[in-house]
């Protein structure tokens, strides 16, 4: 079985996340893609995140019609900082014999040497890296990785200029987020008053 793993704060999950997951599923022939909302992100400790229960609920709403997608609460159920390598070890234990693919963007790939135990992460999973049209991502990113450049699968990802930061700001400003998040996620945000000033 081939299992994709897409981590992030998902605060909120948006169409860019879903398109990335579907792109990886299709291009790599993945059987499933696990969305793994972070619990406590040591890389984003300065930013207050929406409670994990709300972020998980938004992921569930976003993937309800996609049987190949699933929610994993490994990180939100874990106390303390979330580390991708530890999460991948747990997923490997839960799915014996599965081939893991960690899905990330080129910007995250360049930063990977600064993560906790990046060598272990690369041992556990193939890196499924999204490049955008017109980027010469492969050469520049691999050079920055040095010894960590093993097992990279490049994804041909369309340019999607949607970010969770922008969505949160649009809500605070009273602007529309329609077509940036699934309709059910938009309704959840509005109904719970998330991201309002």
pTM over 0.85? The answer is yes
Low pLDDT (below 70) residues in the chain: 41-46, 132-150
Into how many domains does the chain fold? 1
pLDDT digits (tens, 9 = 90+) for 147-172: 556 689 999 988 888 999 999 999 99
Predicted local confidence at residue 135, as pLDDT: 54
Tell me which residue range forms the domain holding 125. Answer: 2-192
CATH number of the domain residue 147 falls in: 3.40.50.620
Assigned domain for 73 exists: yes
Assigned domain for 148 exists: yes
Assigned domain for 24 exists: yes
d(CA 52, CA 57): 8
């Amino acid at each position: 079985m081939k299992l994709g793993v897409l981590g992030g704060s998902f605060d909120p999950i948006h169409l860019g996340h879903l398109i990335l997951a579907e792109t990886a599923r299709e291009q790599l022939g993945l059987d499933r893609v696990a969305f793994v909302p972070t619990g406590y992100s040591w890389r984003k400790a300065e930013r207050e995140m929406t409670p994990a229960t709300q972020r998980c609920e938004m992921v569930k709403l976003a993937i309800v019609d996609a049987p190949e997608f699933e929610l994993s609460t490994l990180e939100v159920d874990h106390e303390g900082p979330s580390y991708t390598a530890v999460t991948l070890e747990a997923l490997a234990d839960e799915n014996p014999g599965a081939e893991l693919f960690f899905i990330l963007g080129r910007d995250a790939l360049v930063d990977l040497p600064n993560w906790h135990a990046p060598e272990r992460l690369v041992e556990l999973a193939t890196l499924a890296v999204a490049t955008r049209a017109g980027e010469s991502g492969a050469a520049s990113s691999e050079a920055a990785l040095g010894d960590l450049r093993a097992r990279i699968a490049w994804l041909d990802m369309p340019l999607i200029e949607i970010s969770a930061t922008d969505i949160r700001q649009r809500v605070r400003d009273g602007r529309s987020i329609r077509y940036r998040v699934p309709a059910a996620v938009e309704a959840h945000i509005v109904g719970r008053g998330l991201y309002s000033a």
